Structure 1
């Protein structure tokens, strides 16, 4: 009997040891996230689209322009480019955007089965691929149209290059150091009934 009790305690000890090793690795990450004040992930500013919401989101946006990034989550090039794209998207999307309502920055994951027809419709041949145009033109887009308002962004491989391309298209001078425009920094105009 003492041998079986010994084996039982030994098995229990090994089990506890294995659990403590796996917990300690995970808990170190949790502690690091808690110290940094984040969960390790930066929020996405680009709007994730798929075949079910693509038309409705682009049809309903008030922004006059949209950029759609077609990517594959498994692609190293796409993973490396994501922070670059997010840096530009931060200027135009989200509650803290410096220039909200001008461009809707979106992304479609072509590696997902649900999006295969959508990616085929836009003739996605490489990743990442970027298209620019009025949002409503994406909804009714026909690949056979020759005179389309949708343009392919050929050279947008860094945030600086992509923002430069956008500035050229819009005749603007947006920059990454642009701050959010806040009304509380304006002087109060008592003669304006809208401010009273």
Structure 2
């Protein structure tokens, strides 16, 4: 069994990754999170792109633990805000990971924007770094639009205000299995599956 460190403490993110691996029959890999390994200093996310941040997190994790590491960086890119909050999504309102404040700020910033100009996409970059130094980065995008009121409680971050293309439900109203199939993270992780299978031997 190959242990793979997912450089995250987000229980929902770890559960999502395990569900996707299970659904795609990827055997031979044990997913562990940051809480399962001795603590190490984590550098702040200072990259200009999702890919840079994901790679930096995965490299740190490999250096500290010697395990192959997967790290992601994801966020919301809103057309009317010139692609912001982007890499600043988790701390858009100033604090770190204050989902409610972030959502309220975005809704305030889009207050005067008409429905037809509220296009957005969730973006996720996932990096896999191995102890031998080999690296791969994949990207998934999930287009949609921003609604005016939060709806649903199955999700985190901006899920309650994001309606995927072709849907009337917000991301937070979708059942987990359905969301895994179409989400930005689901798309990126599926692109990573051949590399994880290779790791599992």
What TM-score do the two structures reach when normalised by structure 2? 0.27
Structure with the larger strand share: 2
Structure with the larger helix share: 1
Structure whose alpha-carbon radius of gyration is higher: 1
